[in-house]
Amino acid sequence: MTLKDQLDKIRQERKEDIKDVVDLKKLDSLRVELLGKKGPITQALRGMRDLPADERPSFGQFANSVRDELQGAIETRREELKKQLLNKQLEHEKIDVTLPGKPVAQGQPHVIQQIIDQIEDLFIGMGYQVLSGPEVEEDKYNFEMMNLPKDHPARDMQDTFYITKEILMRTQTSPMQARTLEKHDFSKGPLKMISPGVVYRRDTDDPTHSHQFHQVEGIVIDKHITMADLKGTLELIAHELFGDRFDIRLRPSYFPFTEPSVEADITCFNCGGKGCAVCKYTGWIEVLGAGMVHPNVLNMAGVDSEVYGGFAFGLGPDRFAMLKYGVDDIRNFYLNDVRFLTQFSKKG
């Protein structure tokens, strides 16, 4: 057998061996064995000097090709083995992706807060300011300047927590109408504001009554504000809070501080307007009161009702939340059962 034949035999046999190796370490020792200083190729190259000079270049070329081939085979095998190993490891690392995620601490805004924030954002986008007023109010602002003098029968509509004869827990956010009207400088432009906050009534707490609840007051006063503007604004609130398919219906009502006064009903969320027990088979649910600001309210606040006018509305976030989520007991909002609070995801 010539040297070349020997080498060729090694190439063929050992290439098979390389393919059979199943372990990276063994592959490594095989590499040393084949390609190392004591390996057959090195040996063969060393034995080249015994060859005739004219054969040497071609043998050398051949030997190098054998070495490259084996080396290539080893590398290929090494990649294969590594990949196998990794796959095995990955298989070993397999987890149950259906196990629960690790809990993290995250709190939620109160559902009423969510509604108030939503209303605030809507009106801020339309150029309204957000103002907050005192919860302990003067009779003057809560009633008198809202066109409810001391003996006015409508005062009976709102049972009041008095602190003294003149100081009370505000029964509505409407006093902020009077307070802002008094201060607003109309030479600087129209008054457009909403005022959210807590109000109080001398009521016994039950599923539909709470001695503490929330209101959002809104008022727009300028030289040309119409009832149609009020209607459009109320429709916008309904669409923002409940969805576009909800309509608004206005009905005559009575508030001492607006004239004309209306109550706004919204399409019954429960039956979509077809009529059901929730809406007493009318298809409508009362959600807020509104109207054109009474000239007395403007005049008492020092605003010329001949020149300026506009609308005001008051809505109840508690009621909105009850309607939107079907909460059947208003007390839930103030007892703060964690199981209740954490139900209302911000998206809504």
Partner 1 sequence: MKISYSWLQEYLDIQVSPKDLAEKIERSSVEVDSVTQPSDGLKKIVVGKIVSMEPHPDSDHLKVCSVDVGDDELSQIVCGAPNVAADKKVIVALPGSRIGGNVKIKRSKMRGVVSNGMICALDEIGFSKDVVPKEWADGIYFLPEDAKVGEPVFPYLGMDDYLIDVDVTPNRGDMLSVYGVARDVGAIYGQTPKLNHPQVEEVSSLAADKVSLDVDQELAPIYTMRIVENVKIQPSPVWLQIKLWNAGIRPINNVVDVTNYILLKYGQPLHAFDYGKVSGSTIKARYAQKGEKLTTLDEAEHELSERDIVIADDQKPIALAGVMGGLNSEIDEQTTTVAIESAVFTPTLIRKTAQRQNLHTDASQHFERGVDRGGVEEAVNAAAQMMHELADGDILKGIVTGATYDVKDEVVSVTLSRVNHVLGTALTLDQVTDIFKRLGFGVQVDGETYTVSVPSTRWDIHIPADLLEEVARIYGYDNIPSTLPSGPTTIGALTEKQKLIRDSRRVLEALGLNQAISYALTTKPKASQFMMRESAVTELSWPMTADHTTLRMNLISGLLDDVAYNNARRVKDVALYEQGRVFYKDSADQVRPSEHEHIAGAVSGQLVVDPLKNAKNNAIDFYQLKGIVEKYLDNLAINGEVEFVATDRYPEMHPGRTADIQIHGHYVGFIGQVHPSVAEMYKINQTYVFELDLDALIEMPKDMNQFEPISKYPVITRDVALLVDKSVTNAQVLAQIEKKGGAYLKSVELFDIYDGKNLPGGKQSLAYTLTYQNPNATLTDDEVNQAFEKVQSTLTNELGAEIR
Residues at the site binding Zn ion, with contacts judged by CB under 5 A: 268, 270-271, 276, 278-279
Q: Between 91 and 337, whose beta carbon lies closer to partner 1?
A: 337
| Pairwise CA distance, residues 207 & 328, whole Å | 7
Structure tokens that stand for 264 in this block: 């706004």
Minimum gap (Å) between residue 291 Cβ and partner 1: 8
Among the residue ranges 16-24, 44-52, 125-133, 173-181, the one whose residues contact partner 1 (CB under 8 A) = 125-133
Q: Between 39 and 114, whose beta carbon lies closer to partner 1?
A: 114
Residue 13 counted as an annotated binding residue: no
Q: Which does 263 bind (CB under 5 to 8 A by kind): partner 1, Zn ion, none?
A: partner 1
Kind and range of the H or E run holding 24: helix 24-35
- Of the candidates 40, 36, 45, which has an alpha carbon nearest to the alpha carbon of residue 13? 40
Asked if 189 touches partner 1 (CB under 8 A), the answer is yes
Question: For the chain, how big is the Rg over CA atoms in Å?
Answer: 42
Q: Contacting partner 1 (CB under 8 A), which of 43, 282, 325, 329?
A: 282
CB atoms within 10 A of CB 330: 20
Q: Contacting partner 1 (CB under 8 A), which of 80, 235, 240, 329?
A: 235
Q: Which does 107 bind (CB under 5 to 8 A by kind): Zn ion, partner 1, none?
A: partner 1
Minimum gap (Å) between residue 306 Cβ and partner 1: 10
Q: Where are the alpha helices (DSSP H) in 165-209?
A: 175-183
Q: Between 52 and 100, whose beta carbon lies closer to partner 1?
A: 100
Q: Contacting partner 1 (CB under 8 A), which of 103, 185, 244, 345?
A: 103
| Pairwise CA distance, residues 200 & 169, whole Å | 6
Q: Between 227 and 271, whose beta carbon lies closer to Zn ion?
A: 271
Asked if 320 touches partner 1 (CB under 8 A), the answer is no
- Of the candidates 26, 64, 27, which has an alpha carbon nearest to the alpha carbon of residue 42? 64
What is the DSSP-derived secondary structure letter of residue 342?
T
Q: Is 252 left (phi over 0), alpha (psi -120 to 50) or beta?
A: beta
For the annotated binding site for Mg(2+), the residues are 259
